[in-house]
Structure 1
C-alpha cells in the first residue's frame, strides 16, 4: 500500500478519524495538557458518530411524515432541516465535508487577516451544514477530488466572510451597536427582514402586550417546541389519510399514538444530532479561535443567531410564530401550483424566524415585525425549492437545507459551474 492509499483509505477515508486528527492538531498548537488532548480527540470523533445516529433517527421520522403527507394530500413533501440533511450528507461525503471545512476555515482566516472583512465565523455547526451542501452540490458536477475540495473550501470561506457583512447594518440597529455580528447562514433573510421593516415599519416601538409575556417561557425550550409542532404536523397530516391506510402503514397503531411517537422520535433524533454537533465542534472551534486572536487583529466575532433573542424576547417569539405562518402560506402556494411541496421546518422558523423578528421589531416596530416576519417565513420556505434539483447526488431524501444563504450560495455556485458545462440542470 503506497502513501496515497494510506491517506485516502486511512486518514481521509474515515471522516470521524480525520476530524479527530484536526482537533488533535488544534489542541497541540494550543499546548493543551495530555488529558485535554485525549479528551478533545475522542469527543470530536464521538460527536461525529452521534450526529450520524441522530440523523438516522430524525430522517426515519421525516420519511414517515412525508409518506403520510404524500398519501393524504397526493403530493410530495420535503422538510427543510439542516441537521438531518447534513447528517445524511455525512454518510455519503464525510471525507469531502471534512476537507472542505479544513480548507474553508483556513481561507476564511486569511480573508479576515488581509481584507476589510474582519468577521470571524464562530458558529461551527453552520460551517458543517454549508460544507455538507457544497460537497453534495459539487459531487453532482462530477469534479475531480482536488477541484471539489478547492471550490468547496473557497465558497465556504466566502460565505463565512461575507455572510455576516450582509446583515450587519440591521444587526447593529437591533443591538444598539454591540461589537459582534451574526454568524448564521440566513444572512439574506435577516437583511431582507431589516429592509422590509425599514420600509413599512415605524420607528416608535410600542411595548408588547402582557398576555404575550406570559406565554413566552413556553418558547424558551426549543426541544419542547419542536416536539409539539412536529406532533401537530403529524396529527394534521393524518387527518387527510383514511384510517385503514394509516393503520396499514403503521401496523394497526392508532393515529394519535403514531403522531406522538413519531414526533418524539424526530425530536430525539434532533437532540442527538445537536448534542453530537456541539460535542464535535466544541473541540475544533476553540483551536481556530486561538489562531484567529493571534493572526486577525481587530476581529469581529460572528455568533449564532440566538444571541439576538435577549434584545427583544417577545419579538423573537412572535417572529417565530409569524415566520411559521408565512411558511404555511408558501406551502399552500406550492400546493396550489401542484409543485413539490416544502413543509415548513420548525427549527429554521424558530431560530431564523425568531432572530428576524428581533431585527424587524427593533428596526420597524410592531408593523415592521408583522410584515417582515411573514415575508421571511414565506421566503425561507420557498427558496429551498430552487435548491432541490442541485442536490441530485443525495437522491430523494425528503429533506433539504433550510435558511436563505444555502439556496443563494448553491444557485451562485451552480451558475458558475454551468458556465463550464458542469452544473446541475
Structure 2
C-alpha cells in the first residue's frame, strides 16, 4: 500500500505538473464557491495552459538538443552535460522511495513555513521539487543515513529551498511583473539574484527607449517571433560551419545544412510561440483561482511558478539572454579546457530557460547593457558551478551528467560541507 502511494505521488501527481496545478486551481475555485461552469473552465484551462507550456518546451527542447549535438560534433568535445532530468532518472532507480518521501515531508513543512512565517510563497513547479529531492536523496544516502534520517533531513532542506528560492528572486522578479501577483518557483534563484545585481549597475536611458520606438528601420523586427526565428536560423548556420563536411547530412537524414537550419529555426520559434500562449492561459486562470487557497489555508500566499512565466514580459530579451548565457557557458568551458579541469559542456536547454528568464530580469533592470553583461556572467557561472558538484555525485555513478541550474550546485555543495562537518563528531 505504501509503495503504491509513493508511486502515485512520485509518478502521478508530482510527476505531471498539469494535474498538480489543475488540482490546485480546482481547490482554489472550490474554496471561493465558484459555480460549476467556472470550476470546469478554470481547472481545464489551467491544465491546458500547463500542457501547452510543456508541448512548447518539448518543441524548443528538441531543436536545442539538435543544436547541442551539432556543436559537440563540430568541436569534438567530450565532457559532462548538465541535464537534471537524466540525473534524476538515474537517482530514481536506486532511491525512488526516498525521493518520494522527501517530497512528501518537504511539501508539508513548506506549507507550514508559508502559513507561519513571512515567506508566503507556495512553490508550484513539481518537476523542480523532484529534481531537488533526487539531489538530496543521492547525497544523504551516499553518506550512510538511514531512510528515516534521509526523509526528515532531506524533506526539511527541500522545504527550506522551496520557501527561500522565490523569496530570493522576488525583488527582481517584481520589477518585471510590476506586482506580487506571483513569484518564481524555479531552482535558479541565485542565478536570477546574480543577474539582477549585475544589471542594477546599469540603467536604461529614456532617450534610448524612445529612439528604439521611433526607428522605422526595425519595423520588421518588432515582431518577436520573426526575431526568434532569424536568431535561431543564424545560430544553426554558424554552428553548422564548424561541422566536418557531410556530418550534417549524416545526422539529419541527408538534408542540406541550410534546410536543417530552416527546419530547426521553425521548430524553435513555434515552440516559443506555444510556450508564450500556454503561459498566458495558465496565468489567467491559476492566479485568480489561487486566491481561494491564499484566503483560506495560507493567508497572503503567493503562487511561485516556473521561469517561462517571465518570457511573455520581454520575449526578445529572453532569447537574447539565452544566446548570451550560452556564450558565457562556452567561455567557462574554454577556461576549464585550458586549466585541464573536468569539462562541463554548457547545456543548451538550461541556458534557454534559466538564461532566458535571467535575461528578462537583466533587461528590465539594466536595459541592453545590463542584459549583455549580466547574461554572459550568468552563463559563465551556470556552467562553472557544476564542476564542484560533479565529484559529490561521482561516488554514486553519475559520471557524464549532473544537475543543471545554479541552486542545485549551491545546495549540493552546502549540504555536502555540512555532512562532512557532522561526520567529524
TM-score, normalised to structure 2's length? 0.70
Q: Shift of residue 170 of structure 1?
A: 1.4
Q: Shift of residue 179 of structure 1?
A: 2.5
Q: Shift of residue 82 of structure 1?
A: 2.3
Name the CA distance, whole Å, in 1 between partners of 2:92 and 2:340: 31
- Tell me: CA distance 1:232–1:88, structure 2 relative to 1, closer, same or farther (3 Å): farther
Give CA deviations for 1:187-224 in whole Å, capped at 9, x if unaligned: 111111111111x31242566758978568676999x9
Q: Secondary structure at the match of 1:340?
A: coil
Partner of 1:197: 199
- Tell me: CA distance 1:69–1:144, structure 2 relative to 1, closer, same or farther (3 Å): farther
Partner of 1:351: 353
Q: Secondary structure at the match of 1:341?
A: coil
Give CA deviations for 1:63-119 in whole Å, capped at 9, x if unaligned: x99999999867641112223322333333222221111111111000000111111
TM-score, normalised to structure 1's length? 0.70
Whether 1:307 and 2:309 are equivalent positions in the alignment is yes
- Tell me: CA distance 1:159–1:258, structure 2 relative to 1, closer, same or farther (3 Å): same
Name the CA distance, whole Å, in 2 between partners of 1:71 and 1:315: 29
Q: Pick from 159, 163, 166: which aligns with 2:165? A: 163
Q: Pick from 333, 336, 341: which aligns with 1:339? A: 341
Whether 1:395 and 2:398 are equivalent positions in the alignment is yes
Partner of 1:180: 182
Q: Secondary structure at the match of 2:80?
A: strand
- Tell me: CA distance 1:149–1:292, structure 2 relative to 1, closer, same or farther (3 Å): farther
Q: Pick from 146, 149, 159: which aligns with 1:147? A: 149
Alignment of 1:80-119 (within 5 A): 80-119=82-121
Name the CA distance, whole Å, in 1 between partners of 2:320 and 2:151: 41
Q: Shift of residue 388 of structure 1?
A: 0.9
Partner of 1:266: none
Alignment of 1:22-421 (within 5 A): 76-198=78-200, 200-204=201-205, 214=220, 294-392=296-394, 393-398=396-401, 400-421=402-423
Q: Shift of residue 313 of structure 1?
A: 2.2
Q: Secondary structure at the match of 1:302?
A: strand
**Contact 2:14–2:127 (CA under 8 A) maintained in structure 1:** no
- Tell me: CA distance 1:288–1:366, structure 2 relative to 1, closer, same or farther (3 Å): closer
RMSD of aligned residue pairs (Cα, Å): 5.4
Name the CA distance, whole Å, in 2 between partners of 1:193 and 1:205: 21
Q: Secondary structure at the match of 1:77?
A: coil
**Contact 1:112–1:120 (CA under 8 A) maintained in structure 2:** yes
Q: What 5-or-longer segments of structure 1 have no aligned partner?
A: 1-5, 45-50, 264-286
Name the CA distance, whole Å, in 1 between partners of 2:115 and 2:162: 13
Partner of 1:47: none
Q: Shift of residue 130 of structure 1?
A: 1.3
Q: Shift of residue 159 of structure 1?
A: 0.5
- Tell me: CA distance 1:16–1:359, structure 2 relative to 1, closer, same or farther (3 Å): closer
Name the CA distance, whole Å, in 1 between partners of 2:204 and 2:72: 45
Q: Shift of residue 418 of structure 1?
A: 0.7
Name the CA distance, whole Å, in 1 between partners of 2:313 and 2:72: 41
**Contact 1:316–1:357 (CA under 8 A) maintained in structure 2:** yes
- Tell me: CA distance 1:380–1:206, structure 2 relative to 1, closer, same or farther (3 Å): farther
- Tell me: CA distance 1:177–1:80, structure 2 relative to 1, closer, same or farther (3 Å): same
Partner of 2:270: none
Q: Shift of residue 389 of structure 1?
A: 1.2
**Contact 2:330–2:345 (CA under 8 A) maintained in structure 1:** yes
Q: Shift of residue 364 of structure 1?
A: 1.3
Q: What 5-or-longer segments of structure 2 have no aligned partner?
A: 32-38, 48-53, 266-288
- Tell me: CA distance 1:213–1:155, structure 2 relative to 1, closer, same or farther (3 Å): farther
Name the CA distance, whole Å, in 1 between partners of 2:223 and 2:347: 21
Name the CA distance, whole Å, in 2 between partners of 1:192 and 1:296: 30
